[in-house]
Every structure is written in structure tokens, then in C-alpha cells.
A and B are shown apart, each in its own frame.
Chain A
């Protein structure tokens, strides 16, 4: 479904992404791992159009999307969350999710119908599936860090994506919250047949959940494969597992 080929991105002289390769098959749960600064966030920003690559191709269902702006890429079926909680702080939790549902249903430009009567069911269903129904009246800015991260995922679900990209969905969470969030992600993948690509710097979190793992270091891909293959790859052991 998604194929990233030899991707490069430099900030001034610094090569943040330097030869990244990635394949995501439909229905898979794929993880990108690598230490902080490996270029995971930059890779995701390239895929979803926040950044433009210097070189390389990003193919979504065989179409090159590497030059498209974020909103077009989203409409092609990729939704995402951000590493730093990125919600609409002055809007209610409900409206946060509704905004993306409205966008998905191409209703964002409706002028004279009250939004409170549109897409209510769909929005409610999403809030229920992530467990935020009780807080739907709260202002998003007033949520706890963990809830903001969950809300992020809910906003992305509003787009009914083919591919859901999550940038360190458990960053800054307590061990409990981390477990809940990983369970949620696995449930979304299983129940809704979502294809999910996420990244993590914590190995533990990844090996239990992902079907395919891509290991990044200094902007480049070391290897991608199933957890067994990755665990036994000597290069990975030297470069990554070795320092633990």
C-alpha cells in the first residue's frame, strides 16, 4: 500500500533522513524504531506532506505523493497524529473530532446549518471507540497529556483513513497509559482492519505489537522485517540493541 524508496531530506547541511526505505502492506501494523534523532518524525512529516523530500519517492497505491500538500495527502487516505500533542485547544473534545469528520464528509464548507446537528453520530462513535465520551464537553486544551494523545488519534480516525500514521503515540505517557494506548492501537488494527504505521523509541513496546518493524539509524534504514528477523539481525544488534 505504501512504499518509501530511498528518501532523503536535509535541513541546511544536516541529513535528517538519509536513505530511508519502508514498505507497508494493507492491514499490517508496522513500527518504525530508532533512537531519538534517528529521523522518524521527519520521515513521517515527509510521508504526510508537512515536509517535501529532497530526493526519493513515496508511493501510495503506486501513486507518487511526495510532492503533494498535506490536505491532499489526507484526502487520499492517510491520517496521522503528531508527536507533540496537536489538538484544537479552544474547541471542545467533541468538536475536535467533528472537524475531521466534517472534512472527511466534505461538509466543511456548509454555511447555514448548525454544526451541532451534523455528523454527531459518527463523531460520537469515534469518541466511544477511544474512550473519550465522558470528556466530550471538555475543552481540548484542558485535557491531561495522556487524553490529548488519545484525542489526537480520535481526530485522525475522523478521516476514516486507509492508513493511520502515529508518531510516538505513547510518548510522555505513564506505563499504565502506555499499555492502554497500545491495546487501543491493536484493537483498532484488529477490529477495523486499519493499516497502522507508528514509531517508537522504546523497543519493548514494539516487539509485542508490530507485525513488521523498520529500524532507522541516523536517517537511514538498517533493515525492515518481522520481529524475529529484526531481532536476529546482526547490524541491528550492534547498532541498536547493543547499546541498551
Chain B
């Protein structure tokens, strides 16, 4: 099962990048190691969203909520209970996937934009709980100084942990996209009516995709807690969901690795240009407009593929066996 993967041209490149990243703490200043860790966490989040958006054409508009659910679950368990750390880490993604299943069950009945709209409303409910339930969640302030196990508490320790988990998750996502499940998902993206006519239960397949994607979103949430040691309601706020959506569009949503590129660009911009201010949403808006303006059909069509043909591999490249 690994043979095919290893024969891919991009595998060598990925391996080289991974090795350089393994060595990075020995030559990069601490701040950049921290920044890289943040990029990795966000890249995983954007990649998980792209399972829905790019490969499934499911308009998962409020994916950030599942990131938040993963982070809050792990963070609260670590801060308020004495269960072993690894159980908290496992509980995060599971809670996120469960939230994904619940919200997905409602949204999946609707199509396209309506799917996304309902998800924004339901997701905002979860945000409101995190925001209002002061006694449990610390409300607006969130919870800081969450106890992280010693071996991953330092900047370098958390960097390595995030890098390795990201590597594992990317590998799993790659396998999923290349599997019969992934092929079928991409077929549904292209033509749901035809899929139903070949005996595929389209809504079930989409719901499973949402559960898988929200699970990985939850993993990213746990990694956020590892890197930052804190949780706060902005994790579940719609601005973050918009950001990661833009990362997918920007990096190339029909490609496998595009969202990683998108995450690197947006996180760097956010770090060097502005934080969560009104200006930041303005900048995001401008980026979105530029995207739509320069790629008028790109949002729904083929343009991304042409644009990124030379730079990134398609998720479905190996179909050309």
C-alpha cells in the first residue's frame, strides 16, 4: 500500500521538506519556530476543511467551530480534570467529529449555499455557548496557562509534536483521497446525480466526509492548545472560518497541498500585517475580492487547476495511472 505513494515524484520533495523542517530548530530563532508551529496547526485545519470544500464541493462555511470544539474539549479536560493528557488529546478530535456529525445531520439535507448558511447558524450557537458559559469556559477571556505535558511544553518540543502529528495526518488524508472513498467523493463533487444513479448513497457519503474532516479539524484544535496553552472564543468565531476558507481558495482547492500554501501565506500576513482587528477582516475581504476578480470562474470552475497545474499536484493526479 505504500509502494505507489513512494513512487510519486512529489514524495521525494515532501520527504526533503520534512527533513529540513526537522532540523529547523537548530538554525531558526525561537520566534520563527513558534510561527512555523502556528502555520502547521493552521495548515492542518485548512487541509481538513479542503476535504469538504475542494474534494467534496461541500460548502463547509463554519469549519472553525470544529477546531474550537477540539481545542475546548482538550483544553478544558487538561485544565479542569486530572485525566491523563493523552486521553484529553484523543477526546478533542472525537468531540469535534461528534459535533460534525450532529451539525452535519441537519445541514446535509440542504444544498450548496443553504448547507453553508445553516452551518453558520448552528456553528454560531456553539460559539455563543463558549462565549456565554463563563463558569465553564471563562467566557470572553477564555482559559490560559493550560497545563501541557513537559515533553512538549517548550517551543521546540511543541514544534516537533505538531510537525509529527501534521505529517501523520497529511499521510492519512492522502491515503483517504486516493482510496475508493476519496474517488467516490470526488465523483460526487463532479456530479452527484450521476453518483446516485450508480448506486451511491450521496448524502451518507458526504456525511462521512464531514465526520472525517471535522475529526482532523479537532486534531488541529488539540495542536493549537499544545502550541498556545490557551483557549478562547475567537477559535470558534466566523472570522477564522472565513480565513481558512480563503486559504483553501488561495492555495488551490482542487489540489492536495494547496491549503498548506494558503495557510502559510495567510498566517504570515496575519502575523506581520495585523492581528484580529477590523483592519484584518478588511484585508481578508480584499484578498477574497482579488481572488474572485482575477479568477472569475475559479470559485466554481477549472481555473484553479490551470493556475496551479505547474506548481502543485492534483489530488486526483494518480488517476492518470
Residues of B within 8 A of A116 (CB): 4, 178, 318-319, 321
Residues of A within 8 A of B (CB): 48, 50, 69-71, 74-75, 79-80, 82, 86-92, 94-96, 98-100, 102-104, 107-118, 137, 155-156, 158-159
Bound: A29/B318 CA distance, A: 38
**Which of B182-190, B239-247, B272-280 forms part of the interface with chain A?**
B182-190
How far apart are A220's CB and chain B's nearest CB, in angstroms?
26
9 A-B pairs with least C-beta separation: A74-B199, A100-B198, A88-B190, A70-B196, A92-B319, A110-B180, A99-B187, A103-B199, A108-B184
Tell which of A92, A109, A158 has the most Cβ of chain B within 10 Å: A109
Contact of A91 among B1, B186, B200 (CB under 8 A): B186
Complex contact B178–A100 (CB within 8 A): no
Which chain A residue shows the least CB distance to B208?
A109
Size of the B side of the interface (Cβ < 8 Å), in residues, is 38
Binary flags per residue of B162-206, CB closer than 8 Å to A gives 1, else 0: 000000000010011011111110110111011111111110010
How far apart are B254's CB and chain A's nearest CB, in angstroms?
7
Contact of B184 among A48, A103, A137, A159 (CB under 8 A): A103
Residues of B within 8 A of A115 (CB): 178-180, 182-183
Bound: A7/B197 CA distance, A: 21
Contact of B181 among A94, A95, A110 (CB under 8 A): A110
Chain B binding surface, main DSSP class: helix
Bound: A155/B305 CA distance, A: 25
Contact of B179 among A74, A111, A159 (CB under 8 A): A111
Residues of A within 8 A of B319 (CB): 91-92, 94-95, 116
Q: Is B316 an interface residue (CB 8 A)?
A: yes
Bound: A82/B178 CA distance, A: 28
Residues of A within 8 A of B176 (CB): 111-112
Residues of A within 8 A of B318 (CB): 114, 116
Residues of A within 8 A of B182 (CB): 115
- 23 CB-based A-B contacts, threshold 8 Å: A70-B193, A71-B195, A71-B202, A74-B199, A79-B197, A88-B186, A88-B187, A88-B191, A90-B189, A91-B183, A91-B190, A92-B316, A92-B319, A94-B321, A99-B183, A99-B200, A108-B184, A109-B181, A109-B208, A113-B1, A114-B1, A115-B182, A117-B4
